[in-house]
Amino acid sequence: MDTGLMILNLAIMLILILGLFYMQKKHVSFSKRVFAALGIGIIFGFGLQFAYGADSEVLAESTDWFNLVGGGYVKFLQMIVMPLVFISILAAFTKLKLTNNIGKISVLIIGLLLGTTAVAAAVGIATATGFNLEAIQISGGEAETARGAQLEESYQSIEGKTFPQQMLDLLPANPFLDLTGARSTSTISVVIFAAFLGIAYIGVRRKSPEQAELFAKIVDAFYSIIMRVVTLILRLTPYGVLAIMTKTVALSDFDSILSLGKFVAASYVALAVMFIIHLILLALAGLNPILYIKKAFPVLTFAFTSRTSAGALPLNIKTQKSLGVPEGIANFSGSFGLSIGQNGCAGIYPAMLAVMIAPTVGINPLSPGFIFSVILIVAISSFGVAGVGGGATFAAILVLSALDLPVALAGLLISVEPLIDMGRTAVNVSGSMTSGILTSKVTGEIDRSVYNDPNNKIEAEI
């Protein structure tokens, strides 16, 4: 390997990082810096692959060093996710205005998340049918075969478990273990544990107001500290986006992407349709969807590049607050959205796979019974999907196994998984924010003046 070339690549990356830092010092807006990082990363990534080739050792070593910035940033976000989920749910209960409507708000958020996921499943079915996608059209090599075998192993871990047993896995037998993120269902378990503490706080507040007030102050103090940590980490977003996008583009297998171009195109059409549905729902609620796009751009860009809904949680909450959503509702919808009703990963993707794979076992994917089963199973299975890279695979395994379809065939799409997962994650986050905004609108708690203020953006805090 030519060490000199690798040092040159690192030097260019360092110059680009310094350029973003200069933009920050010149008070260029956060969203513009994120957009610049995205564009520069794509161009630099293409340039590296053109110069060295995707299989180059120099490129592999260079991107490994780039990952210190991109991967390090994602790890910092993952570091704060569980504490943020926990304290966000707890803080939501300590806010008097929210606790008076806690049941209604929870039902609305979960109902919107599940409802939009069912719609997303229908969109996935329609798109796969419209593009005439079938698994037999896709040929697989060694990597695809290995991925299929891996999915079979993953399936064996849940095979034999009834649906009630799978639901039981969502409950926090050991909340301290779940706070480490050790299980695929850890996030929803932490949400449940925090909700129990919140409900207990409401009971104590009625009987011992002084003790409840002390607890609320402690929670608010912890929340303030956690959110300050979040702000410090979010300031690194442009640098993380630059490194992540550069590595993603530089190492992409464009030949495989072209060979599966029909599936990639269909996936993004479905994702675009679902995003438009989010905008239509906001418009029907009397809210300006253009303002939503402008304010949500930074978080959607980060979700797109990082492929982690959990990592996007801090930006998700801050963005909702800039859209006039009360802090408590933003905490709920952001946290619930990590594990319930992910429109892209748990809605569109499994439904598309089900339609593609069904003909291989003699099932008519257009039969009303099959379509109804897919939509219902997708909605129910969306509970507990991990909000990190790989959540879509877990959702696909659950849905395909529930429909008695071969899960190994999903491995044929391994080469384009990262590319599609970027769009899926952005739609997941948009669905989460949409549920928070609509819930605020229904309960009359949204601040329209904040929503309609184009200058009230997350840049004010970052």
Is residue 173 within a helix (H) or strand (E), and if so which, with residue range?
none
CA distance linking residue 3 with residue 66, whole number of Å: 15
C-beta of residue 378 within 8 angstroms of C-beta of residue 346: yes
Q: Catalogue all structural domains in the chain, each as residue range(s) with its CATH number.
A: 3-460 (1.10.3860.10)
Q: Which residue has the tokens 């708690």?
A: 445
Closest by alpha carbon to 38, among 300, 238, 268? Answer: 238
Lowest-pLDDT choice from 183-197, 204-218, 246-260, 430-444: 246-260
pLDDT tier for residue 400 given thresholds of 50, 70 and 90 = confident
* Residue 231 pLDDT > 70: yes
* pLDDT, position 139: 52
C-beta of residue 196 within 8 angstroms of C-beta of residue 90: no
| 15, burial (CB in 10 Å: exposed 0-12, middle 13-18, buried 19+) | exposed
Between 383 and 114, the higher pLDDT residue? 114
Between 319 and 133, the higher pLDDT residue? 319
Lowest-pLDDT choice from 69-73, 96-100, 165-169, 393-397: 96-100
Lowest-pLDDT choice from 13-22, 135-144, 381-390: 135-144
- Mean of the pLDDT values across residues 329-355? 84
* Residue 143 pLDDT > 50: no
* pLDDT, position 323: 93
Which pTM was predicted? Answer: 0.78
* pLDDT, position 256: 64
CA distance linking residue 454 with residue 323, whole number of Å: 9
Between 181 and 333, the higher pLDDT residue? 333
* Residue 167 pLDDT > 80: no
* Residue 357 pLDDT > 90: no
Q: What percent of the chain stands above pLDDT 90?
A: 22
Whole-angstrom CA distances from 316 to 21, 161, 321, 333, 365 are 23, 34, 9, 9, 36
pLDDT tier for residue 409 given thresholds of 50, 70 and 90 = low
From first CA to last CA, the distance across the chain in angstroms is 40
Between 439 and 237, the higher pLDDT residue? 439
- Mean of the pLDDT values across residues 443-459? 84
* Residue 83 pLDDT > 60: yes
* Residue 186 pLDDT > 60: yes
